Amino acid sequence: MTDPLHAELLELAREAALRAGALLRDGRPADLAVARTKSSPIDVVTEMDIAAEKLITDLISEHRPDDGFLGEEGASSEGTSGVRWVIDPLDGTVNYLYGLPTWSVSIAAEQDGETVVGVVAIPLRGETFHAVRGEGAWEGERRLSCRPAPPLDQALVSTGFNYVLEVRTHQAEVAQKLIPQLRDIRRGGSAAVDLCDLAAGRLDGYYERGLNAWDFGAGDLIAREAGALTGGRPGERPNRDLTVVGTPGVFEPLQRLLEDLGAWHD
């Protein structure tokens, strides 16, 4: 039986993600404006990111006024309930700007520092993924399970690239050395979508440097509940230096290879 609190958090996260996804899907203006840049001139925040985050935080605060927030677009509060919401209102902003379908709304709920609920809505694919700690991972009513592990040289692995030129350059060097040792590499543009695709058996592995908590909060739980392993550098949890996710059998050799290639530094 799902813990009543976790069931409440899941329902609220799902409602917020679906509402924000509908706002982004249906409200995207033809002349979409860039509100400001983040880390570099090509890393952008749109007016829709900001509107979606406000919708999410307003909805959650209405139901749970004592919870805390950590949001990509600036939402930050400690809260007093022991629950904190980690929100990426639009993961895949550049895809969204260009009219590409691979973008998502990612909402995770932490209880006493541990992620207990994760929801990722992908509006243009008509998919909503969710997980509750200990309850498995789901897309709608379909329970998810990651793929059986192939040998590393037959693994399909996704990654992402930082917007800062110096970081991207090193990441490209790592990818160049990695490609001959894998089936192939994909670059989708949304970490949350990649993690859900891995949970659904569409990828064998994923890695990226430079992710923030809101990028992988929900997707990390969904992947783990589907049977994947997640981490950072050997012995570490996913973090900004490196996030590695893989099916059992792919995770450890991929993690070791990334360590040897220096994927965790610029």
Q: Are 23 and 122 found together in one domain?
A: yes
pLDDT digits (tens, 9 = 90+) for 226-250: 999 999 999 999 999 999 999 999 9
Q: Are 200 and 235 found together in one domain?
A: yes
Residue of 32 and 104 predicted with greater confidence: 104
Look at residues 92, 109, 143 and tell me which one is the last residue of a structural domain.
143
- Per-residue pLDDT, averaged over 68-84, amounts to 94
How confident is the model at residue 266, as a pLDDT?
84
pLDDT digits (tens, 9 = 90+) for 165-207: 888 999 999 999 999 999 999 999 999 999 999 999 999 999 9
**DSSP secondary structure code for residue 153 in this structure:** G
Answer yes or no: is pLDDT of 53 > 60: yes
**DSSP secondary structure code for residue 73 in this structure:** T
Query: Rounded to two decimals, what is the model's pTM?
Result: 0.95
Residue 261 and residue 221 in contact, taking contact as beta carbons nearer than 8 Å: no
Give, in degrees to the nearest 5, the angle at Cα 212 between 246 and 185: 40
Compute the radius of gyration of the chain from its Cα atoms.
18
Alpha-carbon distance values, 232 to 29, 77, 132, 139 (Å)? 38, 26, 22, 26
Q: Are 158 and 70 found together in one domain?
A: no
Residue 266 lies in a domain: no
Range of the domain at 166: 152-261
